[in-house]
């Protein structure tokens, strides 16, 4: 290889590197002096909404420019994106998923212990801070119609025991085979069984119980249809399901560079209740409103949580 | 909590009515993603053209290289787009640049191949005449070969752009945005049929429109049609 060719090669490869470092007109965010952060989310409606809530908060309280990268395939991919420096903030992780997924640990059913393990694991393995929960949990939930709940005075899963033998149950396909918090483990913990258990597509269980085809179903606790179909969520009184409370997380390096981001994420602690998340999911999924719009409406309806701690001054010049 | 109008009528609507409703509600967002999608595709093809057209001319002069270059571009083309995106993601991380590089790689083959074929098909008598007039090598390329081959090169660009628009739609999986984001969201939503259409129809229209515009340009640039006018 002659010197000239080597030079050409060097020029080409440096051009390639530069191309990945800066953004092309029309595609990147306008770089602002105050700085830029990227928020990564998975593809579920709920996570995308949370991503835009974080973005809305950052826009409201700072002049930092925040981009949302959505539709990443898995929670591992989001964490990897942060670890590689492609993103700064993960809009939402579920404690139970993070524990068994990214950290590869055994499930822990005690909520505090699980949270502690994830907080520590994220710090040590990924240099990420795992923030306090948004306040809602997206876990498996046993659901019955309000009529059935009233008739038998059902509040917890244990209350089902005397009548379970007469009930047909529809459950998530994958739950039947799951280890740790699946059907077999459920039988051991609660020591009762239903008359018949039908594995179903998770999206169909809500309609199945509302229409009366099933007496009880196992669904996801933040699905919007729970509220709109007036279903009752039975409390997991024996703490059988691991905690799936949702939390944001962020790189320690980013928090050091932008201390404001830390306060903004702390401000969201406990601010989103399960019913509110259900409603937002419902509006986005059933009424075709973009998650970004839903997020902004939610923040405006709550005045961007200006009254909650830590107190922050809204950024002026917008 | 949230105050958005027209919630009740929506469940009575069919897919087409829902599609219209969705577009009305989210028009600006849809347009942003449309533009973004188009730009990603265009940038990829443009960078590929900058590399592939000179390369096509070069291998037309050095026929021994032609098989190797076209062969290499062929190999790149056979890699499925999702696999290519995933491989590049390992090196370039997530984000829009990974998709532009993917589009770039897929665009190389059609442009190189067509440039090569276009230059090769220029009548030797024309080149001889140019030489006879005392044209330099550069002038032969610029004033004779390029104009004669332009319509064939344009056919290559057209091919590349249509493929690029399809590849960009998959770019949503590495966080690039574009209309793929809307399609993906429709797949995730429980009543997402209309959202899928709102993403897929513009993608298809963009590909068809790009094809028509470049086909028109190709005809305009064809030396035969220029003479007949």
Q: What is the pLDDT of residues A214-253, one digit of tens each?
A: 999 998 888 888 888 889 989 889 888 888 899 999 999 9
Contacts of A23 in chain B (CB under 8 A): 96-97
* CB within 8 Å: B25 and A44: no
**Per-residue confidence (pLDDT) for residue A21, from 0 to 100:** 44
Between CA A198 and CA A221 the distance in angstroms is 19
Per-residue pLDDT of B63-100, as tens digits, reads 888 899 999 999 998 999 889 998 998 888 888 889 99
Q: Looking only at Cα atoms, what is the longest distance across chain A?
A: 88
Between CA B81 and CA A3 the distance in angstroms is 36
Nearest CB neighbour to A301, from listed B1, B175, B194? B1
Beta bridge partners of B101: none
Nearest CB neighbour to A19, from listed B2, B21, B97? B97
- Assess B39–A contact: CB distance below 8 Å, yes or no: yes
Q: Which residue has the higher pLDDT, A30 or B111?
A: B111
Between CA A147 and CA A232 the distance in angstroms is 9
* CB within 8 Å: B96 and A23: yes
* CB within 8 Å: A289 and B25: yes
**Per-residue confidence (pLDDT) for residue A194, from 0 to 100:** 93
Between CA A49 and CA A43 the distance in angstroms is 10
Residue A23 above 80 pLDDT?
no
Nearest of B204, B205, B169, B174 to residue B187 by alpha carbon: B169
Q: Which residue has the higher pLDDT, A94 or B188?
A: A94
Span(s) in chain A for CATH 3.40.190.10 = 34-137+244-305
* CB within 8 Å: A290 and B26: yes
Q: What are phi and psi of A170, to 5 degrees?
A: -110, 125
Q: How many CB atoms lie within 10 A of CB A201?
A: 10
**Per-residue confidence (pLDDT) for residue A223, from 0 to 100:** 87
Span(s) in chain A for CATH 3.40.190.120 = 140-234
* CB within 8 Å: B173 and A72: yes
Q: Which of A27, A80, A224 to mutate to test the interface with B (most CBs of B within 10 A)?
A: A27
Letter string b/e over residues A76-98, b meaning 16 or more CB atoms within 10 A of that residue's CB: ebbbbbbeeebbbbbbbbbbbbb
pLDDT average, residue stretch A122-140: 92
With a cut of 0.85, is the ipTM above it? no
CA dihedral A99, B172, B197, B215 (to 10 degrees): -170
**Mean pLDDT, rounded, of chain A:** 85
- Assess B94–A contact: CB distance below 8 Å, yes or no: yes
Q: Give yes or no for a contact between A226 and A277, defined as CB atoms under 8 angstroms apart.
A: no
Alpha-carbon distances, residue B199 vs A77, B170, B205 (angstroms): 24, 12, 10
**pLDDT tens-place values along chain B, 229 residues long:** 455 555 667 767 788 888 898 888 888 889 999 999 999 999 999 999 999 999 999 998 888 888 999 999 999 989 998 899 989 988 888 888 899 999 999 999 999 999 999 999 888 888 889 989 988 888 888 888 888 888 899 999 999 999 999 999 999 888 888 999 999 888 877 778 889 999 999 999 999 999 999 999 888 887 776 665 4
pLDDT average, residue stretch A138-161: 91
CATH class of A34-137+244-305: alpha beta
Nearest of A266, A241, A227 to residue A139 by alpha carbon: A241
Between CA B94 and CA A81 the distance in angstroms is 7
Determine whether domain A140-234 maps to CATH 3.40.190.120: yes
* CB within 8 Å: B185 and A286: no
Between CA B178 and CA B208 the distance in angstroms is 17
Between CA B107 and CA B109 the distance in angstroms is 6
**Per-residue confidence (pLDDT) for residue A14, from 0 to 100:** 54
Between CA A116 and CA A54 the distance in angstroms is 23
Most confident of A8-17, A95-104, A307-316: A95-104
pLDDT average, residue stretch A132-141: 91
**Per-residue confidence (pLDDT) for residue B229, from 0 to 100:** 47
> How many A×B Cβ pairs under 8 Å?
113
* CB within 8 Å: A288 and B191: yes
* CB within 8 Å: B2 and A48: no
Strands A168-172 and A196-200: parallel
Most confident of A17-26, A180-189, B103-112: B103-112
A contact set with B (CB within 8 A): 19-20, 23-24, 26-28, 40, 43-45, 48, 69-73, 77, 81, 84-87, 203, 225, 276, 279-280, 283-294, 297-298, 301
Nearest CB neighbour to B188, from listed A45, A85, A86? A45
pLDDT average, residue stretch A118-133: 93
* CB within 8 Å: B25 and A72: no
* CB within 8 Å: A284 and B189: yes
Between CA A114 and CA A314 the distance in angstroms is 34
């Amino acid at each position: 290889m002659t010197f000239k060719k080597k030079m050409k090669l060097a020029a080409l490869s440096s051009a390639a590197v530069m191309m990945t470092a800066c953004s092309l007109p029309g595609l990147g965010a306008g770089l602002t002096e105050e700085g830029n952060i990227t928020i990564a989310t998975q593809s579920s409606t709920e996570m995308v909404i949370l991503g835009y809530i974080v973005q809305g908060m950052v826009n409201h309280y700072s002049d930092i420019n925040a981009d949302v990268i959505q539709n990443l395939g898995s929670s591992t991919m989001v964490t990897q994106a942060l670890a590689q420096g492609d993103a700064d903030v993960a809009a939402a992780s579920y404690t139970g998923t993070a524990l068994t997924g990214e950290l590869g640990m055994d499930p822990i059913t005690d909520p505090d212990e699980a949270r502690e393990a994830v907080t520590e694991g994220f710090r040590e393995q990924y240099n990420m801070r795992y923030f306090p929960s948004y306040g809602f949990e997206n876990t498996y939930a046993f659901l019955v119609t309000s009529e059935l709940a009233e008739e038998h005075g059902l509040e917890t899963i244990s209350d089902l025991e005397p009548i379970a033998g007469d009930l047909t149950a529809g459950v998530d396909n994958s739950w039947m085979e799951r280890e740790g918090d699946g059907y077999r483990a459920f039988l051991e913990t609660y020591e009762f069984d239903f008359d018949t258990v039908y594995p179903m597509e998770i999206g169909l269980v809500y309609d199945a119980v509302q229409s009366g085809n099933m007496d009880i179903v196992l669904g996801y606790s933040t699905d919007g249809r729970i509220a709109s179909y007036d279903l009752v969520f039975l409390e997991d009184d024996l703490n059988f399901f691991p905690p799936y409370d949702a939390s944001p997380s962020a790189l320690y390096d980013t928090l050091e560079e932008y201390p404001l981001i830390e306060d903004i994420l702390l401000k969201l602690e406990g601010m989103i209740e399960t019913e509110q998340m259900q409603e937002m999911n419902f509006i986005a999924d059933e009424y075709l409103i973009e998650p970004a719009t839903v997020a902004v409406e939610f923040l405006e309806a709550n005045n961007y949580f200006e009254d909650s701690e830590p107190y922050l001054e809204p950024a002026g010049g917008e | 909590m949230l105050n958005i109008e027209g919630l009740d009528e929506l469940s009575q609507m069919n897919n087409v009515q829902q599609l219209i409703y969705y577009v009305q509600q989210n028009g600006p967002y849809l347009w942003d993603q449309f533009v973004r999608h188009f730009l990603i595709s265009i940038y990829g093809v443009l960078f590929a053209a900058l590399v592939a057209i000179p390369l096509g001319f070069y291998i037309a002069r050095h026929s021994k290289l032609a098989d190797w270059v076209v062969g290499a571009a062929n190999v790149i083309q056979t890699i499925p787009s999702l696999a290519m995106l995933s491989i590049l993601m390992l090196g370039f991380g997530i984000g829009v640049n990974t998709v532009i590089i993917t589009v770039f790689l897929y665009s190389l083959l059609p442009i190189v191949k067509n440039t090569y074929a276009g230059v090769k098909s220029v009548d030797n008598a024309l080149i001889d005449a140019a030489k006879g007039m005392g044209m330099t090598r550069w002038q032969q390329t610029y004033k004779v070969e390029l104009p004669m081959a332009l319509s064939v090169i344009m056919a290559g660009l057209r091919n590349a752009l249509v493929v690029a628009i399809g590849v960009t739609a998959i770019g949503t999986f590495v966080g690039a945005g574009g209309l793929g984001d809307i399609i993906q969201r429709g797949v995730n939503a429980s009543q997402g049929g209309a959202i899928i259409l709102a993403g897929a129809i513009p993608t298809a229209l963009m590909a068809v429109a790009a094809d028509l515009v470049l086909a028109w340009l190709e005809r305009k640039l064809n030396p035969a049609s220029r003479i007949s006018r």
